[in-house]
Structure 1
Amino acid sequence: MIYNSSHPQTEYNNPALFPGMYPVLFPYGTGGFEVASRPTPLNFETQAEYFLDIESGQFRNHWSFLFVTLNIIQRRKAHLHVHLMTKAKDFPEVAKQFSQIKPETLDHLADKIQSEQTKNLSDSEQEAMKLFSKVKTITSHIPGSVASKIALRNDIRSYFMYFGCPQFFFTFNPSAVNNPAFHLMYGDTTIDLSTQEPDLPDFDTRARRVASDPVAASDFFEFSYKLLFSTLFAWDFEKQRSKPEGGILGHIRAFYGTSE
């Protein structure tokens, strides 16, 4: 059933949501997320990853499924992992003030902040603004947030303390457009990797493939960096240590990398 209502549907524990939004992808009206009757529970993110990895590509090639799914995952992480922090000495006062602020006040204040109209605030809105100065929002578990980047920097600094200063820095940026392996992952079965220079389509076609299938591009990036580390640097990803024979840089004690 395609939903058409003035009331929004909940995205939590609603197995009929996606079959209702995407009848082409779920033609039998089943197979939605978070089905309570499943013998083995399956969380939203794991099932989404499965859908996007299906070889036929109907989910990842759909014009909106990928964006809607990732948006829900991002919002859920915000719902579950955002919390507030304040100094211990301010906690009793802050907790008391929070309990006294009405939700309507916060709604009005949020609208004024969004429209950059913070000069004419009511007394209650001014109290709420003062409260915000004593509270810090923690979002370190949300990918892409400022706090998550700070957490990454702290991780890197901890590596410095334990392993010493890094000896080698580099930026890894493989070109999916010009790499035959990506086009094979994309589904072009005419690519022959047994030849030294496989025949590739024209540049415009190659670029459109990367733009139309970000999942394949992501898989290609993961494949490339793991191949680099396992082959040239002799890193064993299963055992999480350098291989006995070592690589072009010898034996690696540790490495740290992030992706944008």
Structure 2
Amino acid sequence: YLFSIRDRSFRYHNSFIFVALNLHQRRLAHLHTYFTVKKADFAAVAQKLVSISPETLQKVSSILQTEKGKFCSLNTEEREALKLLNEVNTVTTHIPGSQAAKIRARNEIMSYVGAKGVAQLFLTINPCPQHSPVFQVMFGDNSISLDERYPHLVPGKERAIRLAKDPVAASDFFDFCVSRIFEDLFGWDHVNVRATDKGGILGKLDAFYGTTE
């Protein structure tokens, strides 16, 4: 919401966008992270989880992250916490960028292949906002007329500064371009989740799968 209001101070702040992303990622991690264990080990693992203190888990986590310290120096409780790593699987399929999310995407692609057959076209879409008059308008440059075939743009250095200053506008530009490509060129109806009656330049799409880097 704060990135969409008329006042763009939040967009232009040097660190707010990173803090907001960090909070969003933490929220996703808290809400969509699950533990899975073998049924035979459930009772024993559950008992270990409730018996280990948060301080112990924090210490073991710090050792693993920094790779400092020797495991032989751990006490009994810390060793038990370390053993849990081999008994508990962490499921993070709904957290973007996690390894589990990548595996989930790969499994979904294989499911599409099984249901629809091998994909007929592999496409990489990489719209460049820096040289696009559409992005300049999204940035807030009202002097540009999109009715002109070749609108006059500010110098390249200024366009690069604008791109770095407003990554939210760049993200909106990317979303706009991808949506237009699929709707106007490929004839895909995002509302009804199917190909339009007229189809597109490739005919009527049966299905597609896309990811962002």
- Separation (CA, whole Å) in 2 of partners of 1:56 and 1:111: 40
Residue 95 (structure 1) aligns with: 46
- Separation (CA, whole Å) in 2 of partners of 1:71 and 1:114: 18
Instruction: State yes or no: 1:255 paired with 2:208.
Output: yes
Residue 123 (structure 1) aligns with: 76
Of 104-113 and 239-248, the range deviating more from structure 2: 104-113
After TM superposition, the score normalised by the length of structure 1 is: 0.77
- Three-state SS of the structure 2 residue aligned to 1:199 is coil
Instruction: State yes or no: 1:75 paired with 2:26.
Output: yes
Residue 128 (structure 2) aligns with: 175
**Shift of residue 230 of structure 1?**
1.0
Residue 216 (structure 1) aligns with: 169
- Separation (CA, whole Å) in 2 of partners of 1:102 and 1:65: 33
- Three-state SS of the structure 2 residue aligned to 1:137 is strand
Aligned amino acid, residue 95 of structure 1: A
- Separation (CA, whole Å) in 2 of partners of 1:207 and 1:188: 14
**Shift of residue 96 of structure 1?**
2.0
Residue 235 (structure 1) aligns with: 188
- Separation (CA, whole Å) in 2 of partners of 1:160 and 1:218: 30
Q: Extract structure 1 runs of 4+ deviating beyond 3 A.
A: none
Residue 160 (structure 1) aligns with: 113
Residue 107 (structure 1) aligns with: 58
**Shift of residue 172 of structure 1?**
0.4
Please report the RMSD computed on the Cα atoms of aligned residues, expressed in angstroms: 1.4
Point out which structure has higher relative CO (alpha carbons under 8 A, 6+ apart): 2
Alignment of 1:137-152 (within 5 A): 137-152=90-105
**Shift of residue 74 of structure 1?**
1.3
- Separation (CA, whole Å) in 1 of partners of 2:153 and 2:189: 32
**Shift of residue 258 of structure 1?**
1.0
Of 94-103 and 241-250, the range deviating more from structure 2: 94-103
**Shift of residue 102 of structure 1?**
2.8
Of 172-181 and 121-130, the range deviating more from structure 2: 121-130
Instruction: State yes or no: 1:225 paired with 2:178.
Output: yes
- Separation (CA, whole Å) in 2 of partners of 1:157 and 1:89: 31
What does the per-residue CA deviation read over 1:116-136, in whole Å, with 9 as the maximum and x for residues that have no partner?
Answer: 224322222222211211111
Aligned amino acid, residue 104 of structure 1: E
Match of 1:188 among 107, 127, 141: 141
- Three-state SS of the structure 2 residue aligned to 1:84 is strand
Residue 37 (structure 1) aligns with: none
Unaligned runs of 5+ in 2: none
Of 63-72 and 189-198, the range deviating more from structure 2: 63-72
**Shift of residue 236 of structure 1?**
1.2
Q: Which has the higher helix share?
A: 2
- Separation (CA, whole Å) in 2 of partners of 1:59 and 1:115: 33
Report the identity percentage: 46
